[in-house]
Amino acid sequence: MIDFWFEFGSNYSYLSVMRIEELARSLNVSVRWQPFLLGPIFAALGWETSPFVLQKEKGAYVWKDMARQCKKYGLPWKQPSVFPRHTVLATRVALHGVHEPWMGDFCRAIMLRNFVSDEDVGSDADVRAVLQALSLPADAILAEAQSPANRVRLREQTDKARALGIFGAPTFFADEEMYWGNDRLEDALASLV
Amino acid sequence: MIDFWFEFGSNYSYLSVMRIEELARSLNVSVRWQPFLLGPIFAALGWETSPFVLQKEKGAYVWKDMARQCKKYGLPWKQPSVFPRHTVLATRVALHGVHEPWMGDFCRAIMLRNFVSDEDVGSDADVRAVLQALSLPADAILAEAQSPANRVRLREQTDKARALGIFGAPTFFADEEMYWGNDRLEDALASLV
């Protein structure tokens, strides 16, 4: 089993969200989805937003890298006009849906909306549109996602990320070994086979 | 031709310095060595040292990643007890030797001293020991490396790195496209074939 820590606003998480299920299945490894928020992690590092925004040169590079990486993986891509996008509600839905059969489809749909359709994923209407397109009971899922218990779970999830030493996304854990970045997905999976 | 920007104190540059000549030769791509100093680049970003030192969590991760990466590539590795090491003199020698037949051997020897023997590479004696082990005329090379003209060249080289938008090492340029990180060496080379 691989633990997959990802954030819906993270462009490199997009690559892994799109790739992980098929890759893991081909190796007979199960995926434990671990949606979390990078914002509090960055805040703890003293950053008010993504390093891709704070560091001009790295930011300029990242979009070139993303276009090339998507081409390499055969994934669609459009540079988002807003970055990073608000993802709290989508993350609450994902955390609520971790064990649901729609988890992978929901995560990919949010990512495609953010990084291919270039649409916001932050509002109730945004997340509802994604759930409805998947023919899921949006009202019930949004109510559960916004419940006090699930809000607490997300805070605990972020605390757990920090306790694990996570400093970016995506991050994988395979047999308690940390692997950071989409570039390490294959290595992390290979270590389990 | 691939432009290869690297820094002797950078552990991920170690991986590329050890790998690039053989990989490039197998693809019939020539390598233009571009030794430079990361210190002034980091200083321009407002950092007083490597992000692997400034960010505790990332720093802890990097040494685990390096051990795994070296194992994957079949490279020797010992976590340096001093990081990052002083590299100005070695970089001056490399810049002076860019077109010399000993360039690759010298760069690999400095890297092995830093990241396998866990020895300093900063002093006159350190660099002299490396040159002598390669049976090179250490006195003459060190005199040229420390000449006023070569010191100016290194400052110009660092300015050039900044003008190119370089923010870390290793960085590759293939047909004016920037690729950052040892993980992108294969992609950069493949784009030229």
pLDDT in tens, B173-188: 999 999 999 999 999 9
* Residue from A167, A175, A184, A191 to probe the interface with B (highest B Cβ count within 10 Å): A167
- Average predicted confidence (pLDDT) for chain B: 96
Q: Is the pLDDT of residue B18 over 90?
A: yes
Chain B residue whose CA is closest to A161: B57
User: What is the pLDDT, as a whole number, of residue B42?
Assistant: 85
Residues of A near B (CB-CB distance < 8 A)? Answer: 45, 55, 57-58, 60-61, 64-65, 68, 72, 165-168, 177-181, 183-184, 187
Counting every residue written for chain A, the total comes to 193
CA distances from B36 to A72, B5, B95 (A): 30, 7, 8
Q: Is the pLDDT of residue B64 over 90?
A: yes
Lowest mean pLDDT among A42-56, B34-48, B56-70: A42-56
Q: Cβ atoms within 10 A of the Cβ of B69, count?
A: 20
Q: Is the pLDDT of residue B55 over 90?
A: no
> Rounded to the nearest 5°, which phi and psi values hold at A46?
90, 15
Cβ distance of B177 and A61 shorter than 8 Å: no
Among partner residues A58, A68, A180, which is closest to B167 by beta-carbon distance?
A: A58
Residue-wise pLDDT for A17-32, tens only, equals 999 999 999 999 999 9
Distance CA(B171)–CA(B163), nearest Å, equals: 13
Q: Is the pLDDT of residue A54 over 90?
A: no
Among partner residues A57, A60, A167, which is closest to B55 by beta-carbon distance?
A: A167
Confidence band, pLDDT 50/70/90 cuts, at residue A127? very high
Q: Average of pLDDT values for B33-54?
A: 87
For residue B179, which residues of chain A lie inside 8 Å, CB to CB?
65
For residue B45, which residues of chain A lie inside 8 Å, CB to CB?
55
Q: Is the pLDDT of residue B106 over 90?
A: yes
Q: Average of pLDDT values for A156-185?
A: 96
Q: What is this structure's pTM? A: 0.94
Distance CA(A138)–CA(A165), nearest Å, equals: 34
User: What is the pLDDT, as a whole number, of residue A178?
Assistant: 98
The shortest C-alpha distance from B163 to chain A (Å) reads: 10
Distance CA(A106)–CA(A151), nearest Å, equals: 19
Distance, CA of B130 to chain centre: 15
User: What is the pLDDT, as a whole number, of residue A51?
Assistant: 79
Q: Is the pLDDT of residue B74 over 90?
A: yes
Residue-wise pLDDT for A148-167, tens only, equals 999 999 999 999 999 999 99
Cβ distance of B55 and A68 shorter than 8 Å: no
User: What is the pLDDT, as a whole number, of residue A115?
Assistant: 98
* Residue from B5, B38, B53, B57 to probe the interface with A (highest A Cβ count within 10 Å): B57
Residue-wise pLDDT for B78-87, tens only, equals 999 999 999 9
Chain A residue whose CA is closest to B169: A58
User: What is the pLDDT, as a whole number, of residue A155?
Assistant: 96
User: What is the pLDDT, as a whole number, of residue A162?
Assistant: 93
Among partner residues A45, A57, A166, which is closest to B167 by beta-carbon distance?
A: A57
Q: Average of pLDDT values for A79-107?
A: 97
* Six token digits for residue B65: 């990643």
Q: Average of pLDDT values for A106-118?
A: 98
Q: Is the pLDDT of residue B49 over 90?
A: no
Q: Is the pLDDT of residue B148 over 90?
A: yes
Residue with tokens 């605990």: A156
Residues near B121 by Cβ (< 8 Å), separated by ≥ 6? B8, B85, B86, B87, B90, B110, B113, B114, B127, B130
User: What is the pLDDT, as a whole number, of residue A95?
Assistant: 98
Cβ distance of A178 and B72 shorter than 8 Å: no
Q: Is the pLDDT of residue B120 over 90?
A: yes
B45 versus B88: the higher-pLDDT residue is B88
Q: Is the pLDDT of residue A56 over 90?
A: no
Burial class (CB in 10 A: 0-12, 13-18, 19+), B7: buried
Q: Is the pLDDT of residue A53 over 90?
A: no
Decide: B17 and B108 in contact? Cβ < 8 Å. yes
Among residues A14, A81, A86, A91, the alpha carbon closest in space to that of A49 is found at A86
Among residues A10, A50, A44, the alpha carbon closest in space to that of A163 is found at A44
* Six token digits for residue B44: 């321009």
Confidence band, pLDDT 50/70/90 cuts, at residue B52? confident
b/e A112-126 (16+ beta carbons within 10 angstroms → b): bbbbbeebbbbeeeb
